[in-house]
A and B are shown apart, each in its own frame.
Chain A
Amino acid sequence: GENVEQHPSTLSVQEGDSAVIKCTYSDSASNYFPWYKQELGKRPQLIIDIRSNVGEKKDQRIAVTLNKTAKHFSLHITETQPEDSAVYFCAASPSTTSGTYKYIFGTGTRLKVLA
């Protein structure tokens, strides 16, 4: 079945450094790739997304890149700050049928930014 692999599972960086999280997906029909941030005890929240007709998207300190040929996409956080510490999830949305818009989530990356 569809699968999304996410690496690394944990990541520690010094404040001000960059962080990169990578995901690969299996369903070549996937066309939407969001990233979610989940702070401790709270709900996941969308931070950035990319559609399959775009190779890169940037929003201030965060950016996402997509390589459809290789079926992988990455989250880049620059100038990390302590408040970036959280669990990050990638997801892929396979081709929709009957408007279900099912997501396949990665297993998450726990990012710790050290002050």
Chain B
Amino acid sequence: SQTIHQWPATLVQPVGSPLSLECTVEGTSNPNLYWYRQAAGRGLQLLFYSVGIGQISSEVPQNLSASRPQDRQFILSSKKLLLSDSGFYLCATLRGYNEQFFGPGTRLTVL
């Protein structure tokens, strides 16, 4: 069965600092991978998705970037965080017929 690991689980960062969130997937190969952000009390915003190593599609223009250096590794980065980057970041893959299967998430607070 598939497992998604995300770290760190929580993070507090000052405005203007860099960011690196990591997601790794077990139990599958060549997965579609997704990054979502959920602002406090809000819905799920798709940020990036990837269908293979080095293939990244961006959904929303912002100061974030994503990379996929290995088949089952997906990284979300920023050079300079903004207050508006605070939120719950969820990595996801596909499972079964078409289920969007989410990782445990990283809660980011930018101060």
Contact = CB atoms under 8 A, between A and B. Distances in A.
Tell me what chain B mostly uses at the interface: helix, strand, loop, or mixed. Answer: strand
A98 interface: yes
Given A89-B44, A105-B43, A107-B43, A99 B100 contact: no
Given A89-B44, A101-B32, A102-B49, A49 B102 contact: no
How many B residues touch the partner, as a band? Answer: 20 to 34
A44 B102 contact: yes
A98 B31 CA distance: 13
Tell me what chain A mostly uses at the interface: helix, strand, loop, or mixed. Answer: loop
Interface of B: 32, 42-44, 46, 49, 51, 57, 90, 94, 97-105, 107
Interface of A: 32, 34, 36, 41-46, 49, 51, 89, 91, 93, 98-103, 105-108
